[in-house]
């Protein structure tokens, strides 16, 4: 199989483009400082993790042994005994969130899903795909869910089995919903713990909070029923991926036996690439807890540096506790397009993921934001 000269030139041009822009990202949560060259040899194989990594599968080219160790790691990280948990390596945070919402709906088929206005846009898609009843809850100015409005909507709906979608780091503002407060209010409203479901979307912060000294509650020990985390955000991966972890007793409700592959399937997608489990396995096996902590601390320090610089220049920049997302007034289109910033309404943000080893790129952005601010203030 041979490409034409034109096609080869097209590929080579795209390679040069990727090399040039490898570390461009400052507006979106993606860590580009990974190196999986040790795994390149596996790209010659069709590795498919269809089925359950805990069982035999007739499709022999799978990376189940590695996926199992990945899930052991995250069960421990999120404080649930491994034997009482089940999860898998997903295609990304959206699939993990769909899995959590799916479990909630299967447990409470007539329940209503409650999520805040600051929730990732994919949840509205999940609602349509699952055909689940839902209510959008107001957010506080910092992006956190409005607990009063949450409880008002549950009461108005006379909902006996609410399915709560909690953000552990919202998309735009990096806000963390207080799951302890949510559970306290549900209890005060007379809703028993066994009568509601609590999913945590920790796409970004799920690999931040385990490594800070004063983490907000977000684990199974804190009361969640399932959690989704992205693998390409704080860990870093050339292929979008994620992890979902749930209580095994809940997952067993959705298990289906597939005679075609002589295995059970509990996943959303069925066929799953077996390469990203290898990448996540290498990432967690090659980094100690102390190394992750240093990585996270550097990112948090960079975020605070950006806040301090902009505030010193009179720009209302801020961040939520334990967040690497820095929120500030949206600059002109010229600036946000040049720096590929994420914008929403009247705000923009920068995100100090781990490939920012110094402040050069952050300083360039801040210099342009300050100049833009002064230009329009004149």
Residues designated as active site: 323
Instruction: Give the separation between CA 46 and CA 36, rounded to whole angstroms.
Output: 18
Could you tell me the CA-to-CA distances from 198 to 34, 75, 218 in Å, in that order?
A: 32, 17, 10
Residue matched to tokens 């804190």: 222
Residue 202 in contact with residue 233, Cβ under 8 Å? no
Q: How many CA atoms lie within 13 A of 355 on its CB side?
A: 21
In sequence order, the β-bridge partners of residue 325 are 351
Q: Crossing angle, helix 93-107 and helix 122-130, to 10 degrees?
A: 40
Residue 111 in contact with residue 98, Cβ under 8 Å? no
**3-state SS class at 110:** coil
In sequence order, the β-bridge partners of residue 350 are 326
| Nearest CA among 47, 123, 33 for reference residue 277 | 47
Q: Crossing angle, helix 289-312 and helix 360-377, to 10 degrees?
A: 20
Determine the distance from the C-alpha atom of residue 135 to the mean position of all C-alpha atoms in its chain, rounded to a whole number: 22
Positive/negative CA dihedral, 204, 209, 212, 214: positive
275 is in an annotated binding site: no
Annotated binding residues, as ranges?
A: 120
Annotated binding residues for substrate, as ranges?
A: 120
């Amino acid at each position: 199989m041979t490409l034409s000269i034109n096609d080869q030139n097209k590929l080579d041009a795209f390679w040069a483009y990727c090399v040039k822009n490898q570390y461009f990202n400052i507006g979106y949560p993606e860590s580009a400082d990974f190196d999986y060259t040790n795994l390149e040899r596996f790209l010659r194989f069709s590795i498919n993790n269809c089925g359950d990594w805990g069982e035999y599968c007739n499709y022999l080219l799978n990376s189940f042994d590695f996926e199992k160790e990945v899930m052991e790691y995250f069960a421990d990280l999120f404080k649930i005994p491994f034997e009482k948990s089940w999860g898998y390596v997903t295609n990304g945070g959206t699939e993990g969130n769909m899995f959590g919402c799916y479990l909630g709906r299967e447990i409470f088929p007539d329940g209503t899903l409650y999520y805040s206005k600051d929730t990732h846009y994919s949840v509205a898609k999940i609602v349509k795909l699952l055909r689940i009843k839902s209510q959008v809850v107001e957010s506080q100015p910092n992006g956190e869910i409005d607990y009063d409005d949450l409880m008002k909507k549950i009461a108005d709906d006379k909902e006996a089995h609410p399915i709560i979608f909690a953000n552990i780091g919202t998309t735009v503002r990096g806000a963390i919903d207080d799951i302890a407060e949510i559970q306290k209010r549900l209890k005060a409203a007379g809703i028993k713990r066994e009568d509601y479901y609590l999913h945590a979307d920790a796409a970004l912060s799920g690999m931040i909070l385990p490594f800070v000294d004063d983490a907000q509650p977000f684990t199974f020990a804190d009361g969640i029923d399932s959690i989704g985390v992205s693998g390409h955000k704080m860990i870093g991966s050339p292929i979008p991926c994620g992890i979902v972890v749930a209580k095994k007793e809940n997952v067993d409700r959705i298990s289906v036996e597939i005679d075609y592959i002589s295995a059970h399937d509990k996943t959303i997608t069925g066929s799953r690439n077996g390469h990203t489990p290898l990448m996540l396995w290498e990432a967690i096996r090659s980094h100690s807890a102390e190394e992750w902590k240093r990585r996270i601390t550097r990112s948090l320090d960079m975020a605070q540096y950006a806040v301090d610089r902009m505030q010193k220049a009179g720009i209302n920049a801020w961040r939520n506790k334990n967040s690497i997302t820095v929120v500030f007034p949206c600059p002109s289109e010229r600036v946000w397009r040049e720096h590929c910033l994420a914008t929403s309404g009247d705000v923009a943000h920068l995100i100090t993921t781990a490939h920012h080893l110094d402040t050069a790129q952050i300083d360039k952005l801040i210099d342009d934001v300050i100049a833009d601010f002064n230009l329009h203030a004149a």
